[in-house]
């Protein structure tokens, strides 16, 4: 068995130092499999150093922010520590986001350098033109985007930088934009210390893993994907990396690499279980599946255990907690419906409407504290003050603790829709609907979905005498939001339910729609 992993929290206060520590702890081993090629941890470390040297040549320095918009790849996994070696911060952007969404992030983050791949370069160029902040658009390959620089040959030739910048744990590591209830993406600030604390807690809960491969299909532009890659590094596991989730490829790779560990969001399990040719693949190597990003229905958990014959459990975390808040130790028995116990270093309180602590079994708002908690939102002191109350994060989620400290999540205060583990802001879609000339009022809610857990439903009140169809509304909204956020259902009502203050009652709407 490999040596148990612990985080050396004095590793320069910089997550880039963990790459070298991995090499020192485990020696040279095959760390990454991608598209038929294998990479050692030494090769990844050298590639990270080449990224640092290349970006330094383009003017990136301490406290800068570098926007990265790429699918999963060895280049992306190495870009993270490469950027940190310079003392800069990463602004990861989901490749599916529209040019308008990316432009908002560019303006807010003040990122001056962006890195992408050829198929996304045009969209990023459009965003850059709207934002007017970028100095350099760097592309891993040839691109027709005006002004884009092909860095593929430059990266291959760049001599690795060997020494990381000497940063403190309080320095910014990632500026992660996530949908908020206002509809405007908020930049969650995550420091090196936040991630080191999250890693320390997760590793104290599960100090070691048997050698084997972890299949990583989660986007590295999502905090869940980032922390999973860190953990694979710290456990000395080999990572089988996919650019994006594809059920057939997942089954193929489990069989080919005898994958033992599979982190997922619940929607992925639905696709795998319903795959028409699942039975022809040998998935007997699977030892543990970990679900996060959205609640795991118990029926789905039981079906997964029955089909794959391995343990599955779930954890709970948010962008603001560096993805870590609760989970299960490998030896802990699973409790149906529970997201596990607090990871070491995390405290949980359940508060009532008067902000008073509640006893075990009582339902209230889940509040979290710990060194992994974000210091707040970029350029948004008001949102920071609302979310962080005396060092406690107000999650907006509703739940309770049992007598043994297991957390159960029962509802959300926030109106965010969680579709396949991704947050969707209702207001963003509502604002698009209001731009249609026939719409008088609109509300967007989440409705149950067998595949995604939740999907988008738009409820519309038309102006007197106006006419519109469901498909027309979808086409209209598609001009403003990415395809993933389009309403799966559009419902027309003569009048939207309201309270005495003329506030639209979304819960009443949901009750009418979901019957």
Say how many domains are in the chain: 2
Question: Is residue 3 over pLDDT 80?
Answer: no
Question: Is residue 287 over pLDDT 50?
Answer: yes
Pick the residue with more confidence: 373 or 16? 373
4 DSSP 8-state letter: P
What residues contact 126, with CB distance under 8 A and at least 6 apart?
99, 103
Task: Check residue 423 and give its pLDDT.
Answer: 78
> Could you tell me if residue 120 is inside a domain?
yes
> Could you tell me if residue 36 is inside a domain?
no
Of 133, 167, 201, which residue sits at a domain end?
A: 167
Q: Band of the pLDDT at 499, cuts 50, 70, 90?
A: low
Chain CA centroid to CA 350, Å:
25
Task: Check residue 4 and give its pLDDT.
Answer: 36
What DSSP letter does each residue of 252-308 carry, written as one string? HHHHHHTEEEEEE-HHHHHHHHT-TTGGGS--TT--EEEE-SS---HHHHHHHHHHH
Question: Is residue 459 over pLDDT 90?
Answer: yes
Task: Check residue 139 and give its pLDDT.
Answer: 98
User: Cα separation of 128 and 136, whole Å?
Assistant: 10
Pick the residue with more confidence: 93 or 501? 93
> Could you tell me if residue 244 is inside a domain?
no
Task: Check residue 184 and give its pLDDT.
Answer: 67
Tens digit of pLDDT for each residue in 25-37?
Answer: 999 999 999 999 9
User: Cα separation of 55 and 393, whole Å?
Assistant: 35
> Could you tell me if residue 104 is inside a domain?
yes
Question: Is residue 502 over pLDDT 60?
Answer: no
Task: Check residue 317 and give its pLDDT.
Answer: 96
User: Cα separation of 9 and 192, whole Å?
Assistant: 10
Task: Check residue 5 and give its pLDDT.
Answer: 39
Query: For strand 364-369 and strand 392-401, is the pairing parallel, antiparallel, or unpaired?
Result: antiparallel
Task: Check residue 183 and give its pLDDT.
Answer: 54
Of 146, 167, 188, which residue sits at a domain end?
A: 167
Average pLDDT over residues 55-64: 96
Alpha-helical runs (H) found in 9-40: 17-26
Start-to-end CA distance of the chain, whole Å, equals: 53
Question: Is residue 9 over pLDDT 50?
Answer: no
Domain that holds residue 156: 42-167
User: Cα separation of 297 and 71, whole Å?
Assistant: 28
Q: Which CATH number belongs to the domain containing residue 471 in this structure?
A: 3.30.300.30
Q: Which CATH number belongs to the domain containing residue 150 in this structure?
A: 3.40.50.980
As a whole-number percent, the residues of the chain with pLDDT over 90 amount to: 74
Average pLDDT over residues 358-385: 96
Question: Is residue 58 over pLDDT 50?
Answer: yes
10 Å Cβ neighbour count for 449? 18
> Could you tell me if residue 442 is inside a domain?
yes
Of 134, 167, 200, which residue sits at a domain end?
A: 167
Find where tokens 């210390």 sit.
193
Three-state DSSP class for residue 89: strand
Question: Is residue 501 over pLDDT 80?
Answer: no
C-alpha triplet 122, 126, 132: angle, nearest 5°: 135
Question: Is residue 1 over pLDDT 80?
Answer: no
Question: Is residue 376 over pLDDT 60?
Answer: yes
Task: Check residue 424 and give its pLDDT.
Answer: 85
Task: Check residue 10 and give its pLDDT.
Answer: 42
> Could you tell me if residue 50 is inside a domain?
yes
> Could you tell me if residue 88 is inside a domain?
yes
Q: Band of the pLDDT at 293, cuts 50, 70, 90?
A: confident
Tens digit of pLDDT for each residue in 164-205?
Answer: 888 889 999 999 998 643 456 799 999 999 999 999 999 999
As a whole-number percent, the residues of the chain with pLDDT over 70 amount to: 95
Q: Band of the pLDDT at 159, cuts 50, 70, 90?
A: very high
Could you tell me the pTM of the whole model? 0.84
Strand partners, 316: 326
10 Å Cβ neighbour count for 170? 11
Q: Band of the pLDDT at 295, cuts 50, 70, 90?
A: confident
Tens digit of pLDDT for each residue in 339-367?
Answer: 999 999 999 999 998 899 999 999 999 99
Average pLDDT over residues 66-90: 97
> Could you tell me if residue 504 is inside a domain?
yes
Query: For strand 113-116 and strand 376-377, is the pairing parallel, antiparallel, or unpaired?
Result: unpaired
């Amino acid at each position: 068995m490999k040596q148990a992993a612990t985080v050396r929290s004095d590793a320069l206060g910089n997550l880039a130092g963990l790459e070298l520590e991995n090499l020192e702890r485990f020696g040279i081993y095959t760390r990454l499999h991608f598209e038929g090629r294998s990479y050692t941890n030494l090769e990844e470390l050298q590639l990270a150093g080449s990224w640092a040297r290349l970006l330094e040549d383009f003017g990136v320095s301490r406290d800068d922010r570098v926007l990265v918009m790429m699918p999963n790849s060895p280049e992306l996994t190495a870009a993270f520590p490469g950027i940190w070696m310079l003392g800069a911060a990463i602004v990861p952007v989901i490749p599916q986001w529209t040019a308008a969404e990316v432009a908002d992030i560019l303006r807010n983050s003040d990122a001056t350098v962006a890195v992408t791949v050829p198929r996304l370069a045009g969209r990023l160029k459009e965003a850059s033109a709207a934002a007017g902040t970028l100095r350099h658009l760097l592309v891993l390959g040839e691109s027709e985007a005006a002004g884009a620089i092909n860095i593929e040959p430059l990266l291959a030739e760049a001599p690795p930088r060997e020494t990381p910048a000497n940063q403190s744990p309080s320095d910014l590591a990632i500026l992660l934009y996530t949908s908020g209830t206002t509809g405007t993406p908020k930049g969650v600030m995550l420091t090196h210390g936040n991630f080191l604390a999250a890693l320390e807690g997760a590793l104290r809960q599960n100090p070691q893993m048997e050698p084997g491969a972890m299949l990583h299909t989660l986007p590295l532009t999502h905090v869940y994907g980032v922390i999973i890659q860190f953990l694979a590094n710290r456990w000395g596991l080999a990572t089988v990396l996919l650019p994006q989730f594809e059920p057939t490829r997942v089954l193929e790779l489990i069989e080919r690499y005898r994958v033992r560990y599979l982190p997922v969001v619940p929607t992925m399990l639905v696709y795998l279980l319903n795959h028409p040719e699942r039975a022809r693949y040998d998935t007997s190597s699977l030892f543990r599946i970990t679900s996060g990003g959205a609640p795991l229905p118990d029926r789905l958990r039981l079906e997964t255990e029955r089909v794959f014959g391995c343990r599955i459990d779930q954890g709970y975390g948010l962008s603001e907690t560096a993805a870590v808040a609760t989970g299960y130790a490998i030896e802990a028995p699973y409790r149906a419906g529970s997201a596990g116990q607090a990871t070491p270093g995390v405290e949980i309180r359940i508060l009532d409407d008067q902000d008073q602590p509640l006893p075990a079994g009582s339902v209230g708002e889940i509040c979290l504290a710990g060194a992994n908690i974000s210091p707040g939102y970029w350029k948004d002191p008001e949102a920071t003050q609302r979310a962080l109350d005396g060092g406690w994060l107000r999650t907006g989620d509703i739940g309770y603790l049992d007598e043994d400290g297991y957390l159960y999540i029962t509802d959300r205060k926030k109106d965010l829709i969680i579709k396949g583990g991704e947050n969707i802001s209702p207001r963003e879609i509502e604002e698009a609907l209001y731009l249609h000339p026939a719409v008088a009022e609109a509300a967007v809610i989440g409705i149950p979905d067998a595949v995604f857990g939740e999907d988008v439903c738009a409820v519309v009140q038309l102006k007197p005498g106006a006419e519109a169809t469901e498909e027309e509304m979808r086409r209209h909204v598609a001009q403003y939001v990415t395809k993933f956020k389009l309403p799966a259902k559009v419902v027309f009502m003569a009048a939207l339910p309201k309270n005495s203050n003329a506030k639209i009652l979304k819960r009443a709407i949901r009750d009418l729609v979901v019957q």
